[in-house]
Amino acid sequence: MAEFTVRTADWDHDRDRADCEAVRTAVFVEEQRIPEHEEWDEHDDTSLHVIARDANGTPIGTGRLLRDGIIGRIAVVKEWRGRNVGDAIMHHLLAEARARGLKESVLHAQSYAIAFYERFGYVVEGHEFIEAGIPHRRMRLVLVPVPADDRKPAVRWVRSMDQCRAAALEIAKLARYRLAIMTPDLEPAIYGTHEFRDELKRIARSSRFAQVRVLVRDAQRATREGHLLVELSLALPTYVQIRVPDPDDEQRTDAFVLADDDAILYRVAAEVADGVVEVEGSAIARERLRSFDRLWQRAQPDPNLRRLGI
């Protein structure tokens, strides 16, 4: 079962509305002591709201998108912070903003949270100001518009394993000479196809600087049965490498495949198919590549992989 799910909330539905309000009350009214009359406004009835729930259906996070592209009221309950819930909410809201054809998104970030929003490409504007008794900074993000023709949009959601497999192949086809994969166990349903292996062969043979790097968290599980990526790394060990993150490094629950530094299929929770695809100048790809590079420097082949000669 997935750790959590994120979806668009039905504000007119009693349960969805009550759950969004419960999260905002816990975070803003009770924890941050924002007066209730300042928390609720006329924009709630006309905004798109997002609700995050844990595996039991308990509300754990929320956020909203105004008609003019302003994103706000991003809230995650204390017990779930640091577990990528906020990231998933932002990805969902930004995908909705782009799908609406909005040219930019503006938000008022609490000053301590500026670094969080910078990861998505937001840029600080102007001086610090006080809102609801809390220091804020205005931030802006220029959105990549969704093409009006029949091409695939630059940003979109995938909701099934079949869509994930197709998106992973699409990302691989976009790679010029670099591909990076973060995976729990090589995920045969996504990366175990001959078509995907053939794209990795093409990348590996494209240049003497080519790199296909795979970080797999559970090498024992990954090598229990034969896998085409393992076979490929045995055939092309200079260009296709598989490593296991250092045990002392951060524990990750996400999964992704990214091409060069500007296209990615990203899933916040590897156990589920829900993910976001960005194929043009992705801020997510750039941020995840920096994180991947740090982990790769400390990663090593696992004994399960060494026995195979990797």
Distance CA 310, CA 305 (A): 5
- Which CATH code fits 155-306? 3.30.870.10
6-60 pLDDT, tens per residue? 888 988 888 899 999 999 999 999 999 999 888 999 999 999 999 999 988 999 9
Phi and psi at 164, nearest 5°, equal -65, -45
Calculate mean pLDDT across residues 89-112: 87
The pLDDT score that the predictor gives to residue 149 is 47
| The residue count for the chain | 310
Calculate mean pLDDT across residues 251-264: 87
Q: Please tell me the class of the 4-142 domain.
A: alpha beta
Cα–chain center distance at 87: 6
Beta bridge partners of 4: 54
Residue with tokens 């260009």: 239
When comparing pLDDT for 223 and 94, which is higher?
94
Using only C-alpha atoms, the chain has a radius of gyration, in whole angstroms, of 21
- Residue 154 in this model has a pLDDT that exceeds 80: no
Distance CA 107, CA 170 (A): 32
Query: Which pTM was predicted?
Result: 0.57
Domains of the chain by residue range: 4-142, 155-306
182-197 pLDDT, tens per residue? 999 899 999 999 999 9
